[in-house]
Amino acid sequence: MTLLDIESISKRYGPVQALDTVSLSVRPSSRTAIVGPSGSGKTTLLRIVAGFEFPDSGRVRLDGALLADGPASVPAHKRGIGIVSQDGALFPHLSVAENIAFGFERGAPDREKRIADLLEMVELDGAMATRRPHQLSGGQQQRVALARALGRRPRLMLLDEPFSALDTGLRENMRKAVSRVLQAAGITAILVTHDQSEALSFADQVAVMREGKLVQAGSPETLYRHPRDRETALFLGDAVLLPAIVKSGFAECALGRVAVEGDHAGKAEIMLRPEQIRVVTDADEPRYGGRVVDVQFGGATCTVAVALAAVALPPILIKTSSVALPAPGDLVRLDVAGTAHVFSR
Ligand SMILES: Nc1ncnc2c1ncn2[C@@H]1O[C@H](COP(=O)(O)OP(=O)(O)OP(=O)(O)O)[C@@H](O)[C@H]1O
Ligand SMILES: [Mg+2]
């Protein structure tokens, strides 16, 4: 069952193909994160779903009802979709309370209580209700915009980088709070973000966009472990990429014999996530090892650069705990946990 169906949407602005036959389905009460480089079409896609922009071709359905069929379209205010845009877009001449109440039905009797509840939900002090947007920080404005969108009790909430103006700690708190609020209210959400860890932890489904195309969509774990291509792999986290010869479920590579999934055979490029590789320092005669060329202390997690003995590749970077850190010059063995991913070309 799906709530939202985006079917083969294309959109062009003059010479720019902002979206190229993008299809994506979203299940009810789920959370989808859309990631991709700047200019890849993320905002355009959300604006088409919200009804602020019209596709050249393709369809959008919500709960089976057709919202857009090419340029023919149901107006935005009749879609039951909330949107928090990249810039917040509050009404500058209205107070915080008036901004939040803007989406309420006419003459809503419990207006004051709802405003107070919504402010609490987005963790803003009730005393801010009388302020104007210009008297708020960027992060506070984004939270008011979120409260306003929630006030409409939408079936689907579109969030375009709503946490980007917040610092790391507050950002994580807000993300969790918003997740809770949306889940409690059973609101399906689509979040656009530049932050891969935000995407992987927020979403049930991650969709990766590049140059107007949807490259891959799936569970966070599937995308992280089995990215379609190296760009997607690197977009979602650090990766160690190695040439290999694959045969019968194993890859022969600079790290030795590493198990792989799938039935690929022949020359290939394999990928390991750095946390799959363990640096072993007490090896007397390191087989398939390397030499530590650099150690970067980073508190709980440190980065060790190892030049592989077997191949002329740039040193690989391995994240390791700060306990028993090797020193530059040490010979080490590299143990691999789990399976490597093979890019099929
Ligand atoms: N109204 C418009 N007129 C002309 N070109 C546009 C318009 N809106 C978007 N574009 C272009 O379409 C492409 C996709 O833009 P979009 O805003 O969807 O990207 P994005 O993925 O949201 O990027 P960012 O991460 O920077 O927000 C870009 O090349 C952009 O310049
Ligand atoms: Mg954008």
> What is d(CA 31, CA 27) in angstroms, rounded to the nearest whole number?
8
Range(s) for CATH 3.40.50.300 in the chain? 4-231
Distance of alpha carbon 169 from the chain centroid: 18
Radius of gyration of the chain (CA): 24
Q: What tokens appear for 142 in the block?
A: 């984004």
Task: Indicate if the alpha-carbon torsion angle 324, 327, 332, 334 is positive or negative.
Answer: positive
Atom 5 of ligand 1 has which residue's CA nearest to it?
13
Range(s) for CATH 2.40.50.100 in the chain? 238-343
Pocket test for ligand 1, best of 42, 164, 193, 213 (most atoms within 8 A of CB): 42
Q: Does domain 4-231 have CATH number 3.40.718.10?
A: no
Say if CB 221 and CB 257 are below 8 A apart: no
Single-letter code of the amino acid located at 39: G
> For residue range 310-342, what is the model confidence (pLDDT) as tens digits?
778 889 999 888 888 899 999 888 899 999 999
Ligand 1 proximal residues by C-beta, below 6 Å: 13, 16, 18, 36, 38-44, 86
> For residue range 264-309, what is the model confidence (pLDDT) as tens digits?
889 999 999 998 999 888 756 656 688 999 999 988 889 999 998 8
Supply the pLDDT for residue 345.
63
| CA distances to 66, 123, 133 from 141, in Å | 33, 12, 6
> For residue range 171-180, what is the model confidence (pLDDT) as tens digits?
788 788 788 8
Contacts of 197 (CB under 8 A, 6+ apart): none
Atom 25 of ligand 1 has which residue's CA nearest to it?
38
Atom 2 of ligand 1 has which residue's CA nearest to it?
13
Q: Does domain 238-343 have CATH number 1.10.10.10?
A: no
Task: Give ion ligand 2 contacts, CB < 5 A.
Answer: 43
Q: How far is the CA of 48 from the centre of ligand 1 (A)?
A: 12
Buried residues in 267-295 as b, exposed as e (16+ CB within 10 A): ebbbbbbbebbebeeebeebebbbbbeeb
> For residue range 27-81, what is the model confidence (pLDDT) as tens digits?
999 999 999 999 999 999 999 999 999 999 999 999 999 999 988 889 998 998 9
| CA distances to 73, 215, 219, 255, 334 from 289, in Å | 61, 35, 34, 7, 6
Burial of 25 (0-12, 13-18, 19+ CB in 10 A): middle
pTM: predicted TM-score of the whole model, two decimal places: 0.87
Supply the pLDDT for residue 301.
85
